[in-house]
Amino acid sequence: LTTRQTPDKVTLADVASRAGVSTMTVSRVVNGLDGVGEQTRRRVREAIDELGYRPNIVARGLKASRSGTVGLLVTDITNPYFPEIVRGAEDVAFGAGYTVFLNNVLEDVEREAQALLALEDRRVDGVIACSPRLTDERLQALLLRHGAAVVVNRWAPAEVAGSVRVEHRLGARLAVQHLHALGRRRLAVLAGPEHSHAGRERLEGMAETAAELGLELPPQRLIHGQPTVEGGQAAAARLLEASTSVDALLCFNDVMAAGALQELRCRGVSVPDDIAVVGYDDIPFARMFTPSLTTLHVPTYELGMHAMRVLLDRMEGRHQQVSIVFQPELIVRESTVGAGAPGPRELARSNRQ
Amino acid sequence: LTTRQTPDKVTLADVASRAGVSTMTVSRVVNGLDGVGEQTRRRVREAIDELGYRPNIVARGLKASRSGTVGLLVTDITNPYFPEIVRGAEDVAFGAGYTVFLNNVLEDVEREAQALLALEDRRVDGVIACSPRLTDERLQALLLRHGAAVVVNRWAPAEVAGSVRVEHRLGARLAVQHLHALGRRRLAVLAGPEHSHAGRERLEGMAETAAELGLELPPQRLIHGQPTVEGGQAAAARLLEASTSVDALLCFNDVMAAGALQELRCRGVSVPDDIAVVGYDDIPFARMFTPSLTTLHVPTYELGMHAMRVLLDRMEGRHQQVSIVFQPELIVRESTVGAGAPGPRELARSNRQ
DNA sequence: TTGAAAGCGCTAACAG
DNA sequence: CTGTTAGCGCTTTCAA
């Protein structure tokens, strides 16, 4: 451990001269190709070990015009919804020998666009965009510039990108039906960012179902906010100042629901007695909230895993499997039914990973 | 939006021939260097736009032997402790024009080693390893192969890597002192992975302080487990089967504490009346638990931000600032003091982002 | 079985 | 102001 001399990287040529062969021979050994004598192969192996040679994948990629990398764009890595997607995607990528560039774009469309361009400049072999906020037009133009692309939580034409989605409209429907069955009649919604497509789908599902069941959901009880705890808290505060007669609150996601629960507690509003609260996503901590949160389970790890699989398929020109759709599942907890014994559904669920 | 013809990338040469100049001239325009006439510059600009040219950073890096990328290794991205570090690191990297390779190594030392090698093969300009589990010897050998390195939650010789840490020994001390002040005398510990250095520091701090204050902390009440909700739940179960007289439980991190809280609730043990529970990290959801969790606040965003700053410094050969140390801060919540009105500390804290 | 030459896309260092 | 040459580290192609 002497003072650090920035380790000048050993090259193929270094190994070659050390072993007294040509670079091609070393290349063949490194890549496990045959056409190299046992003698030579051994000598080269020794030289590689002695010098600590590691192939420069960047240079290799320049020649092959593929980089062995993929880009993964998420809107907010601190929202517990995303790390699971990232893990799923990364597991598959790592297993296939790819390395993942992560871009956390902070709900900012400009940064999203910049990130997509930066990834292009890095010549990633493909990109996955999770919950992108760009308009269809801009997004698709940017994705088309990439060799392969997949969008998560959004749809795109098959020529532009694969799509791995959740039927959010159904999720919203399940939530509203549940509230209706519990006798709730006066709904309010903490909606997420205006540019969220998933959010829009959910709103549509809620509105449809509310109309069918004859539930109140007037526009002034629909508040947009940032999809964070603080955003949820602020949105809940605004809502409660405007309307007093709400008996059920649908939230864009669990993180906003967390903020809402806090705000309700601060104001002495009882959940679920006064207001029932439903989240969305089923983040791992949703069942630890006070009260535990009724929500829609989304298979996030699978979302990431399949997104990466579809991407790898598309990178290799296999475009068959173009769109994967998951169904969300209603998880009933205390925030809608109170602190009775948990039902069988919740017990089953609580044993999952 | 016709059928996708994998977009053959436009090169400098393409632009050059289009504009009727040499590649050098285009290169100069692209890089904003002067020595190009206004006329020419304009023609080149037009060609660039018409062709949608974007420079190939990989090729540029091959020449310059720097890639404009850094590697970021985390043990488990689904632990809410890490996304905040990632966000801090990514913000700084993005601002400096670097792109981040994320490697999620799943608490697996072999995968950790593989990832470090894979990053080397990709010729990253530097690496940050968060809470690495490798032995000092292996870790340092691998880090030394990189041009620059930083470790988070761990120490390394200045020649090998910069270090951004938290005084975990102090955190452990604060926790034990707090429990002592509350009259707790019979401690137990849910320790994390055996290979966690942070974990070892915390254990030492607990043991020291417990001894000084005359508190019980016998070895059979120290249970190692995976640093996950499930790990915490399992470890708590094992503990409670063995010992019945515990009145305070110190957990490796908040995620394990979450599992412990669940297990205690299942068994009808009251927190904090029967057993007081303390976590570690202050993940964003710790205050949403039932009961809300007393824990040690660690400035995770800052950890990531400074880690990346130190890394960039080292990449540019500025080695001055070698070690940054943060102090954890005790956050008292219901899991140790019950559901009384929150103290001023907690109120202040609850306003932070 | 082995090697020489050429080139992936870009830029530093020189010409002109 | 603009262009030519050479080469980053590797691999494909062809020759020996």
Read off the pLDDT of residues A80-117 as tens digits, 9 standing for 90 and up: 999 999 999 999 999 999 999 999 999 999 999 999 99
Tell the residue number behind the tokens 């601190």, with chain if given: A78
- Chain B residues with CB inside 8 Å of A7's CB? 144-147
For residue A125, CA distances in Å to A72, A308, B85 come to 11, 12, 27
- Please tell me the predicted confidence (pLDDT) of residue B137: 97
pLDDT over 70 percentage in chain B: 93
Contacts of B145 in chain A (CB under 8 A): 7, 52, 54
Give me the DSSP letters along B301-350.
HHHHHHHHHHHHHHHTT--S--EEEE--EEE--HHHH-SSPPPHHHHHHH
Which of strand C's nucleotides are less than 7 A from any protein C-beta? 1-5, 7-13
What is the distance between the alpha carbons of residues A122 and A69, in angstroms, rounded to a whole number? 9
pLDDT digits (tens, 9 = 90+) for A151-196: 999 999 999 999 999 999 999 999 999 999 999 999 999 999 999 9
How many residues does this entry show for chain B? 353
Structure tokens at B217: 């902390």
Which of A53, A62, A77 is the best mutation test for B, with the most CBs of B within 10 A? A77
What pLDDT is attached to residue B314?
A: 93
Inter-chain touch A78–B84, beta carbons under 8 Å: yes
CA to C1' distance (Å), from B35 to D1? 6
Inter-chain contacts counted by CB atoms under 8 A, chains A and B: 175
Task: For chain A, report the end-to-end CA distance as a whole number of angstroms.
Answer: 43
DSSP code at position A84 = H
What is the C-alpha to C-alpha distance for residues B278 and B171, in angstroms, rounded to an integer?
11
- In terms of DSSP bridges, do strands B99-104 and A99-104 run parallel, antiparallel, or are they unpaired? antiparallel
Sign of CA dihedral B77, B79, B82, B84: positive
Inter-chain CB proximity A78 and B284 less than 8 Å? yes
In whole angstroms, how large is the CA radius of gyration of chain A?
A: 26
Distance from CA of A31 to the nearest CA of B (A): 14
Which one of B100, B122, B251 makes the best mutation probe of the A interface by having the most chain A beta carbons within 10 Å? B122
Contacts for A316 with CB less than 8 Å, ≥ 6 apart: none
Residue B319 has pLDDT above 90, yes or no: no
User: Which residue has 């997104």 as its token pair?
Assistant: A307
What is the model's pTM? 0.93
Residue nearest to nucleotide D9 (CA to C1'): A59
Q: A129, A308 in Cβ contact below 8 A?
A: no
Which of A2, A3, A4, A226 best tests the B interface by mutation, with the highest count of B CBs <10 A?
Answer: A4
Helices (H), A243-299: 254-266
Label the pairing between strands A99-104 and A187-191. Answer: unpaired
Rounded to an integer, what distance in angstroms lies between the CA atom of residue A30 and that of residue B151? Answer: 31
Digit-coded pLDDT (tens) for A187-223: 999 999 999 999 999 999 999 999 999 999 999 999 9
Task: Name the nucleotide with the smallest C1'–CA separation from B15.
Answer: C9
For range A269-286, the mean pLDDT: 96
- Reply yes or no on whether the pLDDT at B332 is more than 90: yes
Q: Is B292 helix (H, G, I), strand (E, B) or coil?
A: coil
Residues packed against strand C, CB within 7 Å: A 21-25, 28, 34-37, 39-41, 59, 62-63, 65; B 9, 11-13, 23-24, 27, 30-31, 55-56, 59-60, 62-64
Q: If you measure CA to CA, which chain A residue comes closest to B53?
A: A121
- For residue B211, give the nearest of B187, B236, B181 by alpha carbon: B187
Residue A54, token pair as written in the block: 């590691």
Q: What is the pLDDT of residues B148-177, one digit of tens each?
A: 999 999 999 999 999 999 999 999 999 999
Q: How many CB atoms are closer than 10 A to CB B9?
A: 15
CB atoms within 10 A of CB B31: 9
Q: What is the pLDDT of residues A312-326, one digit of tens each?
A: 999 988 776 678 999
Phi, psi of B88 (to 5 degrees): -60, -45
Q: Which residues of A touch B67 (CB under 8 A)?
A: 58
H or E element, residue B261: helix B254-266
The residues, ordered by sequence, that sit 6+ positions from A42 with a Cβ below 8 Å of its Cβ are none
Q: Smallest Cα–Cα separation from A265: which of A239, A294, A231, A237?
A: A237
